[in-house]
Chain A
Amino acid sequence: MSPRRLLLTWGLLLGVLAIEVGASFLPIGRPARPLLLLPALLMVGMVAAIFMQIGRGPTVVRLFAAAGLLWLLILLALGSLDPLTRIVYPVPAMERATPAANPP
């Protein structure tokens, strides 16, 4: 890897970091604030592509990386699906309060 490419990547990473930190001071609503992860994901891609040279290794390397990403997405999607979408949580106290809603 050429020193110029490495320096450029380092500078870009710090630039994206500065944008990320700067954006955190913008008046973004609480539900939308996880969008601040987008610059971080860009930085992760840059580290994988340039520092870890994912494109240079054997094909199985990219397969393992893709598998890791896929399983992470499955973990996050399945794990958060119920907590993020459920709106009614029956709890013992509620059951006692509304016995008709829980037929034997």
Chain B
Amino acid sequence: MSDAALPHAFQYESARHQARTAIAGMWLFLASEVLFFGVLFLSWIVCRHWNQAGFDAGARQTALAIGTLNTVILITSSAFYTAGVAFIEASNTRRLIQCCALAWVLGLAFLILKFGIEWHEDLARHLFPGPRFAITGELRTGAQLFFVFYFVATALHGLHLLAGLGLVGWIIRRAGRGEFSAQYSTPVAVVGLYWSFVDMVWIVLFPLIYLIGRGP
């Protein structure tokens, strides 16, 4: 089937034009998301600059093992989804569903580790900023600022991941109905861009939260 004969919305000259527009649109959205998270990164720079000792004292309280495992999980999840995109471009729907399902499960595992275990432990150890905050003395203010950054950043990232889980689930459902093929897989590619972006944000957050403040 020629490209012009494939179904497409009236405002596009071809299915290829529609696909390229959708992908460009997602990239434009991701560029705006870069600025959204950019403000968080800026707050990290400013807060740490003025409270280095306290900020780093807060960072040393984080669970490095869980953070590292979560980074491995998200990288692997992104790799599985990318494999799924390659499979559907070869018209292998079964493999696409398998790869997306693995990516989805890994995304869910990240959320469970982050919010079910890590946040739970952080709250139990009184690391949420407030009157009962665990760190006292002159480092208290900086450490509280760190944990404000930590909770806001991980919550915002978690919300994005949750949205991504919904999108990947939507792709699995549509793939199960046989809606994608080598000729039409634009939603698979567009959701893949978002899924990898969420991974990318975590790759930057990981050293900011767990590594930079953790001196020997």
Q: Is chain B a partner of chain A in the same complex? A: yes
Tell me whether A33 and B215 are in contact in the complex, defined as CB-CB below 8 angstroms, given that A21-B68, A47-B196 are known contacts. Answer: yes
Interface residues of B in 172-195 (CB under 8 A from A): 192-193
Minimum CB–CB distance from B106 to chain A (whole Å) comes to: 12
Flag whether B9 is at the interface (Cβ < 8 A).
no
Mask, B7-30, CB within 8 Å of A = 1, is 000000000000010011001101
Q: Are the CB atoms of B215 and A57 closer together than 8 Å? A: no
Flag whether A94 is at the interface (Cβ < 8 A).
no
Q: Are the CB atoms of A47 and B203 closer together than 8 Å? A: yes
Q: Are the CB atoms of A44 and B204 closer together than 8 Å? A: yes
Residues on A with C-beta less than 8 A from B116 are none
Flag whether B160 is at the interface (Cβ < 8 A).
no
Q: Which residue from B24, B197, B203 sits with its C-beta under 8 Å from A60?
A: B24
In the bound complex, how far is the Cα of B212 from the Cα of A26, in angstroms? 11
The number of chain B residues with a CB under 8 A from chain A is 52
Q: Are the CB atoms of A51 and B72 closer together than 8 Å? A: no
Counting chain A CB atoms within 10 Å of each CB, the highest count among B49, B75, B199 belongs to B75
Q: Are the CB atoms of A51 and B30 closer together than 8 Å? A: no
Interface of A is mostly: helix
Interface residues of A in 1-57 (CB under 8 A from B): 1, 3, 6, 9-10, 13-14, 17, 20-21, 24-28, 30-31, 33-34, 36-37, 39-41, 43-44, 47-48, 50-52, 57
Tell me whether A40 and B38 are in contact in the complex, defined as CB-CB below 8 angstroms, given that A20-B211, A64-B28, A64-B31 are known contacts. Answer: no
Q: Are the CB atoms of B30 and A68 closer together than 8 Å? A: yes
Flag whether B113 is at the interface (Cβ < 8 A).
no
Q: Are the CB atoms of B45 and A72 closer together than 8 Å? A: no
- Size range of the chain A interface in the assembly: 35 or more
Interface residues of B in 126-149 (CB under 8 A from A): none
Flag whether B214 is at the interface (Cβ < 8 A).
yes
Flag whether B42 is at the interface (Cβ < 8 A).
yes
Tell me whether A1 and B38 are in contact in the complex, defined as CB-CB below 8 angstroms, given that A44-B200, A52-B192 are known contacts. Answer: no
Interface residues of B (CB under 8 A from A): 20, 23-24, 27-28, 30-32, 34-35, 38-39, 41-42, 45-46, 49-50, 52-53, 56, 64, 68, 71-72, 75-76, 78-79, 81-83, 85-86, 192-193, 196-197, 199-200, 203-204, 206-208, 210-216
18 new A-B contacts, CB < 8 A, other than A17-B68, A65-B31, are A1-B82, A1-B85, A26-B216, A31-B52, A33-B211, A36-B212, A37-B208, A39-B207, A43-B203, A52-B192, A52-B196, A57-B23, A60-B27, A64-B31, A67-B31, A68-B32, A71-B35, A80-B45
Instruction: Give me 27 A-to-B residue pairs in the complex whose CB atoms sit less than 8 angstroms apart, sorted by A's number.
Output: A1-B86, A3-B86, A6-B86, A21-B68, A24-B207, A24-B212, A26-B216, A30-B53, A30-B215, A33-B212, A33-B213, A34-B212, A37-B204, A39-B207, A40-B206, A44-B203, A44-B204, A47-B200, A51-B196, A52-B196, A58-B23, A68-B30, A71-B34, A72-B34, A72-B41, A80-B45, A84-B49
